[in-house]
Chain A
Amino acid sequence: GQQLNQSPQSMFIQEGEDVSMNCTSSSIFNTWLWYKQEPGEGPVLLIALYKAGELTSNGRLTAQFGITRKDSFLNISASIPSDVGIYFCAGPKVSTFGNEKLTFGTGTRLTIIP
């Protein structure tokens, strides 16, 4: 099935650095969700975006709904060790039967180098 494309696929950064990642699609989305998954756990919802151009923060995390509605961005400021994990974007996609299902991105794996 169709997946959203995330970049970069992986990041290796030092503690304290800022992080930027993005998610793109060939289709328009009317909602963007950002999740974080830590090893051995399920994805946890970080931020939800509902309007083109919207900028929403959750602590050190800031996410933006792209103006074209085909992309979204997630920034993490002053990274700390607990930021390690895989970050997924997700958006609802209308299915064959007319109802919406979430499509997930391929993920960005964040590693912090000591």
Chain B
Amino acid sequence: DAGITQSPRYKITETGRQVTLMCHQTWSHSYMFWYRQDLGHGLRLIYYSAAADITDKGEVPDGYVVSRSKTENFPLTLESATRSQTSVYFCASSEGIREQYFGPGTRLTVT
């Protein structure tokens, strides 16, 4: 089905491990985004990409790495997971910046 998917939906990992969250969209949207959602902070932008091979930092990029070799995929990597990175992560895509469409989210727990 067309849309935006994220995997895994749930992940438990240990402090210090590398974790990659996947995001895939079938709309051929130019823009893709990664957000984290935490109680008391709402949705905060981690990184975004305007096109393949073009990425830029958002509000809270420290500890995260992104890449975008193909238009449809935008993986987010936590190089060395910390407990403060326990959160729900949402991927979104859009043709322009404004009307973004969100994936179902990945709930990550770092122990």
Contacts and interface: CB of A to CB of B under 8 A. Distances in A.
A41 B101 CA distance: 12
Contact of B103 (A33, A42, A45, A48): A42
Contact of A102 (B50, B56, B98, B105): B98
Given A97-B56, A101-B58, A92 B97 contact: yes
Contacts, number: 52
B62 interface: no
Contacts of A33: 98-100
A100 interface: yes
Contact of B98 (A1, A92, A106): A92
A48 B50 CA distance: 21
Interface residues of B toward A: which range?
A: 20 to 34
A35 to B, nearest CB: 8
A1 B57 CA distance: 13
Contacts of A99: 50, 56, 97
6 contacts: A1-B59, A3-B42, A44-B102, A45-B100, A92-B97, A107-B42
Given A42-B102, A45-B100, A99-B50, 9 more contacts: A1-B59, A3-B42, A45-B99, A88-B43, A92-B98, A99-B97, A101-B58, A102-B97, A107-B42
